[in-house]
A and B are shown apart, each in its own frame.
Chain A
Amino acid sequence: MPNTTIFSAKKIITMNPSRPEASHVAVRDGRILGAGSLEELATWGDYTLDTRFEDKVLMPGFVEGHAHAMEGSLWAKVYCGWFDRADPNGKLWMGVKSVDAVVERLQEAEAVLEDATTPLSGWQLDPIYMDNTTVTRADLDRVSTTRAVGVLHASGHIMNVNTKALELAGMLKQGLNHPGIPLGADGFPTGELKGPEVMTPVGPFVGYERNMLDADETGLRNFAKLCVRTGTTTITDLASRMDDDAVDVMLRVTNEPNYPVRLMPFRFFMGLSAKELIVAVLAFKKRSTDRLRLGQIKIVVDGSIQGFSARLRWPGYHNGAPNGLWYIAPEHLSELLHLALEAGLQVHTHTNGDQATQLVLEKLGPALQAHPNPDHRFTLQHCQLADAAQFRTAAKLGMCVNLFANHHFYWGDEHYALTVGPDRATRMNACRTALDSGVPMAIHSDAPVTPLGPLFTAWAAVNRITASGRVQGEEERIQVHEALWAITMGAAYTLHLDGEIGSIETGKKADFAVLEADPTACDPMLLKDIGVWGTVQGGRIFPAASL
């Protein structure tokens, strides 16, 4: 007789519309036998009653449909962000509010380094909140003159380094002529490096190796710890460079008996031709396990809105900046869509600007006529500026959207004032319109761009509060139950996993978020503050407190 455990809970929110609430859930072999009353579940035969969740609220384990495993690796570096943020071990790092505070925090980390030359790296600096104060190499020289120091910005596209770092990279010279290398009055670089191509030569000297996209073993474990702390049981790595070594590492780590999360890496489209990419991803797909789901493709079509590199339709950027950049040629995009549909591989496309979204919609239509697939679920990721017509077309084409709900809080004020202006800032990440248009929808954090935390993401979609405290886009707010659906079933659907996870019902994985309070019963403004006890993943129990 197989072992059955029945968990009792204060409340179980199942996200199964035919039985939305239950008091007990029975688990056998890592899967859900049923959810209901104890009497009902007892009909399955012998069981062990586990009452540890008696005062907790269970939900389906949260599904994060757009994050990067890099978040796990970044915590090996010094957190220099503006907002308070919890690390994988649960320690809350207070946000640093001035350049002096950044320097001080780095000095503290420097003080415990023994060898005089080990580089020191920081991350998540965001001068937007510090009146765009520029951090100079002189500031970072106060941290050290003997070791290289580098701090990556929250955008991931700018880095500040000290004099030693410039010197090691051979860039401490006068008269450099590059828009990404601002020069000081003395003609030498200020230490600010803008754009990946100017960061690359310095990166290795300040602890930022080339393949930041691929998390190392410790990074993958830290990433998983963050998942447990936020109630997340399935997460994407969108995208990974995924060479064979990286896949081996992911297989090894996710196979560890206590690895608490199901990881779904998407292969980044660059570096291989369309045909080679399909072959490579088909080969990866065969190596999938329950906890490592391989075989998807991520295409990046344009850049970011706050970086002015997203592709916008008329009238373009509010401040008059020139239109952004294409990261893929339209023909290449089209070829990939055709080949992926033909091969049965799923594609998620990063489109921030509405012109990039439009291009994907226009290219997918003919590709679908050539290779009909009624259930492809190709997903528009971010899709931040889509209008109602685009959502309607996406729905007709069978696409899903994964909107960047967190973005409002972090950059909403910036978008209103500067990048896209009031009208479009108000409709950014239009969750209400998306749902009303019938597009299957998820919402995301894009960690490490913003912190992982599905309940925070739900809060952001429900309240649309910006960092300055304004409600931006009242009409696009969604209901709590809709937001909770988006972080469970909605995200599972975009990953073709809705038959396995996303709700608590017979046959699905025993993946639960274990919460301290009922998110459907609290003030929606407090949604983000609900405590997470930990998770259950595949029937295995992971209390956050003992990670």
Chain B
Amino acid sequence: MRQDIPVIVIGGYLGAGKTTLLNHLLRHADGRKIAILVNEFGDLPIDADLIEAKDDEMIAISGGCICCSFGSDMTAALIKLAQLDPAPDYVVIEASGVAMPGAVAASISFLDGFNLGGVVVLADSERIRAQAADEYLGDTMLRQISDADLIVQTKIDLISSDVVQDVRDWLGSANPKAQVVATAQGRLPPEVILGVEMVAGQPQASAHADAGYESRVFSEIPPCDPIKLAKSLATGAVGIIRAKGFVADQAGQNWLIQIVGERFDVTLAKAKEHIAVVCIGRKGALETGAIGVMFAGDAG
């Protein structure tokens, strides 16, 4: 049986930097087959030099990625994607500028063959606070932010570092359960957006070209209560942006743990797996000591 395909929902208003982020992701796909779903092809989010072929329904992108438009029917487009051979490794849905990414994400939950890989909401450092105060858009912006598991604060090269910090604090208070990462030009490691990469069914730690992030493998994990462990990792303020891996319970069953922000997902593994969990965080913010304690079972 095939693994469920992780679906990442990218939200945020027009101009928040979704296009830049997606193109950076596609340029660093590194063998991952990513399927991007967009509302419409019109203002195409894909840089021209990445496009290999295009028809009405699908754009082929170098490196085995694709982009499809779904118009007004996202569910139908996803069902179609699941039937592709080979199936994509990841689906990234670009929600429209006024869509509620949480609602988009909720509709993934009942679709067979997919698994929500997180809601990522982009916020333009320069404009987000004005947008959040806008008469027409304000409540929509705040609801988008509160839907996020991971908030990407974009365009930090356009403002001073003080303001970057102010905006970061504001975003954090607007949604305390999300992790906030900051970027210029959408330069985030793919695993921050997509989640920890699985190779041959095993989570991989990667050495990032981007020096701002680190990923650590924890493999000394005694049998535990997987839900309790996942919850403490996700909500324990230990700097985990994403985590993924296998743990065993007291009865010897293996469980897949996936974390993004405070969202965690624990599912029974289909076979015996190698026990290890990869955690990704910002360099210096990932509290490996505290995380190690949690894995050791002393989290309380």
A residues sitting closer than 8 Å to B (CB atoms) are 170-171, 176-181, 195-198, 200-201, 210, 241, 268, 270-276, 311, 322-323, 325-332, 355, 359
Contacts and interface: CB of A to CB of B under 8 A. Distances in A.
Contacts of A178: 106-107, 109-110
A201 B78 CA distance: 10
A331 B110 CA distance: 33
B76 to A, nearest CB: 6
Interface in B102-154: 103-104, 106-107, 109-112, 136-137, 139-140, 143
A271 B69 contact: yes
Interface of B: 13-14, 39-43, 69, 71-76, 79, 96-98, 100, 103-104, 106-107, 109-112, 136-137, 139-140, 143
B72 A271 contact: yes
A355 B136 contact: yes
A79 to B, nearest CB: 26
Nearest to B139: A323
A329 B75 contact: no
B42 A275 contact: yes
Contact of B96 (A268, A323, A329): A329
A322 B146 CA distance: 14
A176 to B, nearest CB: 5
A275 B42 CA distance: 7
A177 B69 CA distance: 26
B75 A200 contact: yes
B109 to A, nearest CB: 5
Given A273-B43, A329-B13, A330-B137, A176 B96 contact: no
A270 B38 CA distance: 12
Contacts of B43: 273
Query: What DSSP secondary structure best describes chain A's contact surface?
Result: loop
Contacts of B137: 326, 330
Contact of B136 (A179, A200, A270, A330): A330
A272 B107 CA distance: 23
Given A178-B106, A178-B107, A178-B110, A210 B97 contact: no
B71 A197 contact: no
A322 B97 contact: no
A270 B39 contact: yes
Contact of A272 (B40, B104, B139): B40
Given A198-B107, A326-B140, A332-B14, 19 more contacts: A176-B109, A176-B110, A178-B107, A179-B106, A180-B106, A197-B104, A200-B73, A200-B76, A201-B111, A270-B40, A271-B39, A272-B42, A273-B40, A322-B139, A323-B139, A325-B100, A326-B136, A326-B137, A329-B96
Contacts of A323: 139
Which are the 3 A-B pairs with shortest beta-carbon distances?
A: A273-B42, A271-B71, A197-B107
B139 A198 contact: no
B98 A329 contact: yes
B74 A197 contact: yes
Nearest to A314: B135
Contact of A359 (B96, B103, B136, B143): B136
A68 to B, nearest CB: 15
B39 to A, nearest CB: 7
Q: Chain A CB within 10 Å — which of B39, B104, B111 has the most?
A: B111
A232 B96 CA distance: 38
A276 B74 CA distance: 20
A274 B40 CA distance: 10
Contacts of A274: 42
A246 to B, nearest CB: 13
A104 to B, nearest CB: 31
Nearest to B113: A170
B97 A329 contact: yes
Nearest to B106: A178
A200 to B, nearest CB: 4
A170 B139 CA distance: 35
A201 B79 contact: yes
Given A271-B40, A271-B69, A271-B71, A327 B98 contact: yes
Q: Chain A CB within 10 Å — which of B76, B79, B107, B140 has the most?
A: B107
Nearest to B135: A355
Nearest to A199: B75
Contacts of A311: 136
A181 B110 contact: yes
A252 B13 CA distance: 42
Contacts of A171: 110
B67 to A, nearest CB: 14
A210 B73 contact: yes
A270 B71 contact: yes
8 contacts: A198-B110, A200-B75, A201-B111, A210-B73, A268-B72, A270-B71, A276-B40, A326-B136
B234 to A, nearest CB: 16
Q: Chain B CB within 10 Å — which of A200, A268, A276 has the most?
A: A200
Contacts of A268: 72
Contact of A332 (B71, B97, B136, B143): B97
Given A200-B73, A200-B76, A201-B79, A170 B98 contact: no
Nearest to B56: A243
Q: Chain B CB within 10 Å — which of A176, A196, A201 has the most?
A: A201
Nearest to A176: B110
Contacts of A355: 136
A180 B105 CA distance: 12
Contacts of A272: 40, 42
B40 A177 contact: no
B42 A197 contact: no
A276 B42 contact: yes
A325 B98 contact: yes
A183 to B, nearest CB: 11
A177 B109 contact: yes
B82 to A, nearest CB: 11
A241 B74 CA distance: 15
